[in-house]
Amino acid sequence: MKLTGVILTAAVAAFLLFPTTVEASSFAKVGTSGAQFLKLGLGTRGIAMGGAFVASADDPSAVFWNPACLVRVPGTQVQFTGTQWFADVLYGGAVVSSEFQGIGTFAVSFAMLQSGDMDVTTVEQPEGTGETFNCTDMVAGLTFSRMLTDRFSAGLTIKYVREQWDDVSAGGIAVDMGTLYDTGFKTLRIGMAIQHFGGELTPDGEFTTYNSGQDSLMAYESYSMPMTFKLGMAMDVINRGPHFLTVEVDGIHPSDNVEQLGIGTEYWYNNMFALRGGYRINTDEEGLTAGAGFRIPIGGKTLTLDYAYADWSRLDMVHRASLGFAF
């Protein structure tokens, strides 16, 4: 059997066996890893499609979903994304990608989450001491993707992850790995990605604790990053005249939670206006997602504008917007 046949068979089998509901034996290992901001997702289109984007990504945000999809991003492109999260938390990022004929596609990415000022409280002063602190998370990465055959591509992202809480910080290296396979059956594509794979993060410095009647200095314990495995199938079910419709289903297996399912669709009219929708299954609060986008030709270049909305049930709605340029 050819290599591509083996890959297809394994991917289909894994997808069919992928659990999407919580069985009695399932255990949600919530709170067992840090750097949770890495799981929030950047890239407006993917969020609007219910997080089902691992086999459909074809813009610079592919670096945040499946680095193998970066081969689908032609020329040189730039994208900026901003997210208004809960409690005035802001999360934003930028990606620059460039295609090199005969070599592959490279991208540089950066993202930062900023909590804003929060009150310092103590047992004696639960309403606040008058002082404030903030939390800042960031990730910077370098991505490379290349076609290995006419139907199979692979990609790798090496990134530096850092978290800081007031005067305490932790940082380390992680990698994302992905593959994308065009099955040759109509437009069916299979994408797989392993994200946030790396060593443990150890906060620097020490803290004071009261033990056995006296103050003691203690070192902070290490914690792991939220490694996540994703497997998705996508197909362009309509490609007729100005109408183009893509449907994708993704299975998501985080190391610190139960398995989830993302279902998404994206409709383009005349390759200039898009409507998107999706749904997240087996999550505590996430559910319906939606969005829209525009591609505007300007002097031989293309301007892209995208918006996404996510319903977090009992929590606030989350809004995202992105701006992109294709040269």
Q: What is the CATH number of the domain that holds 71?
A: 2.40.160.60
Residue 200 bridge partners (DSSP): none
Residue 239, amino acid: N
- The pLDDT value recorded for residue 95 is 98
Percent pLDDT > 90 in the chain is: 66
- CA dist 175 and 227 (Å) reads 10
The residue among 195, 325, 304, 189 whose CA lies nearest residue 246 is 189
Give burial (CB, 10 Å; 0-12/13-18/19+) of 37: buried
Return the bridge partners of 325, or none.
Answer: 78, 303
Q: What is the mean pLDDT of residues 29-51?
A: 88
Tokens 């620059």 sit on residue = 96
Q: Is residue 27 part of a domain?
A: no
Q: Is the pLDDT of residue 291 over 80?
A: yes
* Residue 243, domain member (yes or no): yes
Q: Which residue do the tokens 């996540």 mark?
A: 228
Distance, in Å, from the CA atom of 162 to the CA atom of 112, rounded to the nearest integer, reads: 10
Residue 263 near residue 53 (C-beta atoms within 8 A): no
The proportion of the chain whose per-residue pLDDT surpasses 70, expressed as a percent, equals 90
Q: Alpha-carbon distance 153 to 150, whole Å?
A: 8
Range of the domain at 62: 3-22+43-117+131-164+172-194+228-326
Q: How confident is the model at residue 299 (pLDDT cuts 50, 70, 90)?
A: confident
Tokens at 142, concatenated? 């370098």
Neighbouring CB atoms inside 10 A of 281's CB total 16
Q: Which of 82-96, 98-112, 143-157, 212-226 has the lowest mean pLDDT?
A: 212-226
Confidence of residue 26 (pLDDT cuts 50, 70, 90): low
* Mean pLDDT score, 95-101: 97
Which range among 23-32, 104-113, 264-273 shows the weakest confidence by mean pLDDT?
A: 23-32
Beta partners for 290?
Answer: 277, 309
For the chain, how many structural domains are there in total? Answer: 1
11: confidence class by pLDDT, cuts 50, 70, 90: very low
CA 46 to chain centre: 8
For the segment 280-298, the average pLDDT, to the nearest whole number, is 93
Q: Which is it for strands 260-269 and 243-254: parallel, antiparallel or unpaired?
A: antiparallel
How far is the C-alpha of 263 from the C-alpha of 250, rounded, in Å?
6
Asked whether 291 and 44 are in contact (CB, 8 A), the reply is yes
Q: What three-state secondary structure class fits 61?
A: helix
* Model confidence at 20: pLDDT above 50: no
Confidence band, pLDDT 50/70/90 cuts, at residue 192: very high
Higher per-residue confidence, 250 vs 219 = 250
* pLDDT at site 2: 47
Six token digits for residue 313: 């049930």
- Grade residue 145 by pLDDT with cuts at 50, 70 and 90: very high
Query: Mean of the pLDDT values across residues 178-194?
Result: 96
| Residue type for position 265 | T
Residue 212, in any domain of the structure: no
Model pLDDT, residue 284: 83
Residue 280 forms part of a structural domain: yes
Q: Looking at residue 213, what is its pLDDT?
A: 67
Structure confidence at residue 125 (pLDDT): 87
Cα dihedral value 142, 322, 52, 54, nearest 10:
-20
Q: Is residue 147 part of a domain?
A: yes
Q: Which residue has the tokens 């319906």?
A: 288
Does any domain span residue 213?
Answer: no
At residue 212 the predicted structure's pLDDT band, cuts being 50, 70 and 90, is low
Instruction: Please give the helix or strand (H or E) that residue 247 lies within, else none.
Output: strand 243-254
What is the pLDDT averaged over residues 232-260? 94
For residue 78, the model assigns a pLDDT of: 97
pLDDT score of 122: 82
Backbone phi and psi for residue 188, each to the nearest 5 degrees, phi listed first: -65, 125
Residue 36 placed within a domain: no
- Least trusted range by pLDDT, from 166-170, 178-182, 237-241: 166-170
Helix (H) or strand (E) holding 278: strand 273-281
The mean of the pLDDT values for the chain is 88
Tokens of 214: 């006296």
φ, ψ for residue 31, nearest 5 deg: 85, 10
Please determine, for residue 22, whether its predicted confidence score (pLDDT) is greater than 60.
no
pLDDT digits 0-9 by tens, 75-92: 999 999 999 888 889 999
- Whether the per-residue pLDDT at 8 is higher than 50: the answer is no
Please name the residue that has the structure tokens 């289109």: 45
- Residue 274 is predicted with a pLDDT of 98
Residue 160 lies in a domain: yes
Is residue 43 a contact partner of residue 64, using CB atoms and an 8 Å limit? yes
* DSSP H/E element including 46: helix 44-48
SS3 content of the chain, % helix, strand, coil (to 5): 10, 55, 35
Residue whose C-alpha is closest to residue 282's, from 262, 260, 264, 263: 260
